[in-house]
A and B are shown apart, each in its own frame.
Chain A
Amino acid sequence: MNNDQLNARIQKAREKDHLIDLIGISKEYDGVKVLKDINLYIRKKEFVTLLGPSGCGKTTTLRIIGGFETPTDGALLFEGQEISDLPPYKRRVNTVFQKYALFPHLNVYDNIAFGLKLKKMPKKMIDEKVRQMLELVNLRGYEKRHVEALSGGQQQRVAIARSLVNEPEVLLLDEPLGALDLKLRKDMQLELKSMQQRLGITFIYVTHDQEEALTMSDTIVVMKDGTIQQIGDPKSIYDEPANAFVADFIGESNILRGTMVKDELVEFAGATFPCVDFGFGENAPVDVVIRPEDIMLVGEDVGQIVGVIKSVLFKGVHYEMMIDTGAYTFKVHSTTMQPQGSKVGLNIVPFNIHIMKPMQEEE
């Protein structure tokens, strides 16, 4: 991207009411591109999640917004102002770090008051704000505790309080729940979400946990190999994955190679199925994605295809069955159990068949 193009895009972005704009951001380490042309905007009070497997560039993107890395190329706008070269301490952004990075030489109070003391705020006001924050994160009475004597969940809360007390415009969170156990993680997800709604602060959240992303986000940005795969709200990402990677990463999926016979008719697993997609052309190779819960088990004689149940696993709410149709082994979720070894028919309604262009294999 040359300078004129970039400037034109910066101009265009300024006309919109965005809080943060990433325009053509790329990042190189020693000749290795870890971010390739990232374009993303974030609105005020939005809860945005950067989701992807490790090494996809989500943390690098967050660190660029936080000011800990400078992009090799592209522009980073904050309320329309270019801030790529602004040091972290001049940005109206605060970060909750992976593993919290609490200051081990300070107690809980001094950790939280750290930013306020730098602003030379009067002692009384600091006291008041720290007290409010401790209240917010349910740690009243912990002021004098040593941070290393706290549990993971408590340290996590101190880290959040330490950032929020500075009243940032944007809070960046880098896998903040990664070190917590499942139960605590679920509780904290809800707490973070309600905190974000109450305070009206923009959250940019990095995680590799798709369920966490679906639970908390207004907008999910799915990333892979330094590129954005899809941007959308949780429901559209889940229901309308842009490609097989997103489908596979968000929830469980059956992903098959198929052929688009003509508009609204697709052939896979040795049978043809009516579907709702069109515009791929005739006899075009496609990827077909079907969620395990979207496959209905019916009688052998009325199924679109027929298969044998290879295995049955009880998963709590549903049973997970692997059904071999000869051409493909489908993963099926159903609340009713069929015995292993029995023959069943499989039906899929047209709008539950997701057709996408085949993924180009990268590297």
Chain B
Amino acid sequence: MRANLSLPWWAWAAMGAGLVVFAVMIGLTVKRNRGVHRSLFASPYTLWMIVFTVIPVILIGYYAFTNASGAFTLDNFKNFWDSNYESNKVILDVMGEEGAAYITRGTVNVDTLVYSLWMAFKCTVICLLLGYPAALFMADRNMKLGATLVVLFIIPMWMNFLLRTIAWMSLLEDSGLINTFLKWLGFEGVQLMYNSEAVLLGMVYNFLPFMVFPIYTVLSKMDFRLTEAAADLGCNSLQTLVKVTLPLSLPGVISGITMVFMPSVTTFFIPRVLGGGNTMMFGDLIESKFLTEGNWNVGSALSLIMMLLILLSLSILRKVDPNGEGGGIA
């Protein structure tokens, strides 16, 4: 792993200037208010954001549009579209026109992105189908079990995400709990791990609470008299659900979708543990660009593409829930 921090002098200067501007702004605030103003208490957070979010994003932008020697280039994005771009260029350089017969477009990057989006989509749909009824059940004020279920959903979240995923291995492996049990019953063992179903299972398991809780919050805040009013006006329980409860819980659903879809697209640990390298998702690809190949430029370009896709989907969802009533991060 080679940290490629050989930034040009102007990049360092810009970052330094940013910090100086920040310090000056604090000074001015103190002077204008003749003392400590409440907004000053936000400065540690602002500094944190600048150092760990704003600067890294600027750096990603910088790396994405430069090559290893720091010159401006769009090659990194061409590399996303055609992973053979570099080698094809060499072939064409050496062989000229004749080389065209030997070049092929490497589709692994695009395919991985499409696969990741598809997996994230499936994960989101399954989480919604499982999570909505669960949230409905938990929020029902007549169900005494509801509160218990809330706790049951929260307890696993106290455990580390990596541990929880690794725990699934001991269940699914060839010598794991499930297979041992099947063999004890006299059945053949089943290959449960190292396929996309196992990855999907791990994703759903890890991200389900992020679907349940926003919906649960909205539902439990909802005035129960509204469902009574629906029943009063002639709705049976299914009609009440479709005509009143569902539309009113939409902000929670949107928030849940965002909070499940985003980490699903970018997830990289679950596919490696449960997919065992047989499945590659976009997060894994980015990780390997940075950590295995040490190619920060292409890695940054891929990250930038992913960020744009997420921003795009967020802005679409925001149109449906303009007030952000779901209380999520949309």
**Is B234 interfacial (CB 8 A cutoff)?**
yes
> Is the CB–CB distance between B229 and A118 below 8 Å?
no
> Is the CB–CB distance between A99 and B225 below 8 Å?
yes
Interface string of A64-76 (1 = CB under 8 A from B): 0011100000000
Nearest-Cβ distance from residue B177 to partner chain A, whole angstroms:
42
Answer whether A101 and B231 are a contact pair too, CB < 8 Å, given A87-B236, A89-B236: no
Interface string of A90-124 (1 = CB under 8 A from B): 00011101110111110000000011001100000
Q: Using Cβ atoms and an 8 Å threshold, which residues of chain B touch A97? A: 225, 228-229
Nearest-Cβ distance from residue A50 to partner chain B, whole angstroms:
18
Q: How far is the CA of A101 from the CA of B248 in the complex (A)?
A: 13
- Taking CB as reference atom, which chain A residue is nearest B247? A105
> Is the CB–CB distance between A101 and B233 below 8 Å?
no
**Is B97 interfacial (CB 8 A cutoff)?**
no
Query: How many B residues, CB 8 Å from partner?
Result: 17
**Is B235 interfacial (CB 8 A cutoff)?**
yes
Q: Using Cβ atoms and an 8 Å threshold, which residues of chain A touch B225? A: 97-99, 101
Q: Using Cβ atoms and an 8 Å threshold, which residues of chain B touch A68? A: 228, 231-232
Q: How far is the CA of A163 from the CA of B247 in the complex (A)?
A: 21
Most interface-central of B234, B235, B247, B248 (chain A CB within 10 A):
B234
Answer whether A95 and B232 are a contact pair too, CB < 8 Å, given A103-B244, A104-B248, A105-B248: yes
> Is the CB–CB distance between A101 and B226 below 8 Å?
yes
Nearest-Cβ distance from residue B240 to partner chain A, whole angstroms:
9
**Is B223 interfacial (CB 8 A cutoff)?**
yes
> Is the CB–CB distance between A94 and B233 below 8 Å?
yes
Given contacts A67-B231, A101-B226, 20 further A-B contacts (CB under 8 A): A67-B232, A68-B228, A68-B232, A88-B231, A88-B232, A89-B234, A95-B229, A101-B223, A102-B229, A103-B226, A103-B244, A104-B226, A114-B230, A114-B233, A118-B234, A118-B239, A119-B234, A162-B233, A163-B232, A163-B233
Q: How far is the CA of A256 from the CA of B82 in the complex (A)?
A: 98
Q: Using Cβ atoms and an 8 Å threshold, which residues of chain A touch B234? A: 89, 115, 118-119, 166
Q: How far is the CA of A87 from the CA of B235 in the complex (A)?
A: 10
Q: Using Cβ atoms and an 8 Å threshold, which residues of chain A touch B248? A: 103-105
> Is the CB–CB distance between B233 and A166 below 8 Å?
yes
> Is the CB–CB distance between B228 and A115 below 8 Å?
no
The A-contacting residues of B in range 227-260, CB under 8 angstroms, are 228-236, 239, 243-244, 247-248
The B-contacting residues of A in range 305-334, CB under 8 angstroms, are none
Nearest-Cβ distance from residue A130 to partner chain B, whole angstroms:
13
Nearest-Cβ distance from residue B223 to partner chain A, whole angstroms:
6
Q: Using Cβ atoms and an 8 Å threshold, which residues of chain A touch B232? A: 66-68, 88-89, 93-95, 163
Assign chain A's interface to a size class. Answer: 20 to 34
Residue ranges of B at the interface with A (Cβ–Cβ < 8 Å): 223, 225-226, 228-236, 239, 243-244, 247-248
Task: List, sorted by A's number, 29 A–B pairs whose CB atoms are closer than 8 Å.
Answer: A67-B231, A67-B232, A68-B228, A68-B232, A88-B228, A88-B231, A89-B232, A89-B233, A89-B236, A93-B232, A94-B233, A95-B228, A95-B229, A95-B232, A97-B229, A99-B225, A101-B225, A101-B226, A102-B229, A104-B248, A105-B248, A114-B243, A115-B233, A115-B234, A118-B233, A118-B239, A119-B234, A162-B233, A166-B233
The B-contacting residues of A in range 42-70, CB under 8 angstroms, are 66-68
Q: How far is the CA of A105 from the CA of B223 in the complex (A)?
A: 13
Most interface-central of B232, B236, B244, B248 (chain A CB within 10 A):
B232
> Is the CB–CB distance between A89 and B231 below 8 Å?
yes
Q: How far is the CA of A297 from the CA of B232 in the complex (A)?
A: 55
Q: How far is the CA of A89 from the CA of B239 in the complex (A)?
A: 11
> Is the CB–CB distance between A89 and B229 below 8 Å?
no
- Taking CB as reference atom, which chain B residue is nearest A91? B232
- Taking CB as reference atom, which chain A residue is nearest B229? A101
- Taking CB as reference atom, which chain A residue is nearest B224? A101
Nearest-Cβ distance from residue B234 to partner chain A, whole angstroms:
4
Q: Using Cβ atoms and an 8 Å threshold, which residues of chain B touch A93? A: 232
> Is the CB–CB distance between B228 and A89 below 8 Å?
no
Nearest-Cβ distance from residue A105 to partner chain B, whole angstroms:
5
Q: Using Cβ atoms and an 8 Å threshold, which residues of chain B touch A87? A: 231, 236
Nearest-Cβ distance from residue B190 to partner chain A, whole angstroms:
46
Q: Using Cβ atoms and an 8 Å threshold, which residues of chain A touch B236? A: 87, 89
Q: Using Cβ atoms and an 8 Å threshold, which residues of chain A touch B230? A: 103, 114
Q: How far is the CA of A114 from the CA of B229 in the complex (A)?
A: 10
The B-contacting residues of A in range 214-255, CB under 8 angstroms, are none
- Taking CB as reference atom, which chain A residue is nearest B233? A115
Q: Using Cβ atoms and an 8 Å threshold, which residues of chain A touch B226? A: 101, 103-104
Q: How far is the CA of A88 from the CA of B231 in the complex (A)?
A: 6
Q: How far is the CA of A103 from the CA of B244 in the complex (A)?
A: 7
Q: How far is the CA of A98 from the CA of B228 in the complex (A)?
A: 12
Nearest-Cβ distance from residue B295 to partner chain A, whole angstroms:
50
Q: How far is the CA of A62 from the CA of B244 in the complex (A)?
A: 23
- Taking CB as reference atom, which chain A residue is nearest B250? A105
Q: Using Cβ atoms and an 8 Å threshold, which residues of chain B touch A99? A: 223, 225
